[in-house]
Amino acid sequence: MKRTDITALFPDATEEQIKQIMDLNGADINKAKGDLAGLQGQLTTAQAELQKLKDGGGQPDKLKEATEAITALQNELNTMKQAEALRIMREKVSADKKVPAALLTGETEEACAAQADAILTFAQGQGYPALKDAGEVHGSPAPSTRDKFAEWAKDNL
């Protein structure tokens, strides 16, 4: 996510709000990268232990445990890769459709695009219904403070 993406979605966002969004996004990405690096390290360690057990003709119980650990870590790593790919896809649709990625829950790009279209349609809405007396001004309105000041300045300056 880039600052330009945020300003495109929220043109009225202040620099502080943009910084907070970027900090949150950066923290999420760094956490995911840290988790991924930790899992890859664990996987490498488990594979090394497995190879050591295979080479040493060692104990079958430890070999079984190591194999199960490797399988579990590979499954967890695959799950994280899928989650990261899904996040990237949702951010792409978010940037294309100008809808916050947090509102998209689809599992495919087409589903997310359809959700984004539905969100945009809802956001445009029909407005409020017309009221019989919707607060229209009947008669001339009182001059604004700006108009009063302009008249005073013209008369006195």
pLDDT digits (tens, 9 = 90+) for 61-80: 777 888 899 999 999 999 99
* pLDDT at site 34: 83
- Write out the chain in H/E/C secondary structure: CCHHHHHHHCCCCCHHHHHHHHHHHHHHHHHHHHHHHHHHHHHHHHHHHHHHHHHHCCCHHHHHHHHHHHHHHHHHHHHHHHHHHHHHHHHHHHHHHCCCHHHCCCCCHHHHHHHHHHHHHHHHCCCCCCCCCCCCCCCCCCCCHHHHHHHHHHHHC
* pLDDT at site 126: 67
- Would the pTM of this model clear 0.95, i.e. be above it? no
